[in-house]
Amino acid sequence: MGKVWKEFREFAMRGSLIDMAVGIIIGGAFGAVIKSLVADLLMPPLGLLLGNADFTNLFSVMRDGEVAGPYATLLEAQEAGAVTINYGLFIVAIINFILIAFAVFMLVRTINRLRAEEEEVVEEPTTKECPYCMSTIALNATRCAFCTADLTGN
């Protein structure tokens, strides 16, 4: 049993596994923030623009419940046991997805730019200029190929 515990501990403490766990936790919190952004900040003004539409209450009744409709809200329909198609909730879910996808895109784009900047390698020069005739010559040249000047002191 001690060997199994040791192997499990090594597995659980791997950097990539811990990074993944942190990513999942942060992702869950990020999802909650986006859900609140959509439900609490974006949907109310959008609903006002569309004539006081509350997207969470956009639904179609397929079959009435124990208490016959019409139902003013989705909650009333669900409490009555009605079978509904909740297309308003679907719209909200699509908006959530688009915002999360855009935020992830921007994050990945930024990370890729930072990585590209890190990977830029400054190449060491392989040539230099002759101080006498200004011709381009090899960096380790001791005599200029163009003006034959001695470059050992330079």
Question: For 101-122, how does the pLDDT look when each residue is reduced to its tens digit (9 = 90+)?
Answer: 887 788 889 888 888 877 766 6
Mean pLDDT of 60-83: 89
Mean pLDDT of 123-139: 89
Question: For 3-13, how does the pLDDT look when each residue is reduced to its tens digit (9 = 90+)?
Answer: 888 887 777 77
Question: For 12-34, how does the pLDDT look when each residue is reduced to its tens digit (9 = 90+)?
Answer: 777 677 778 888 888 888 888 88
pLDDT of residue 112: 85
- Does the predicted model carry a pTM greater than 0.85? no
Burial (CB count <10 Å: 0-12, 13-18, 19+), residue 57: middle
Query: At 49, is the secondary structure helix, strand, or coil?
Result: helix
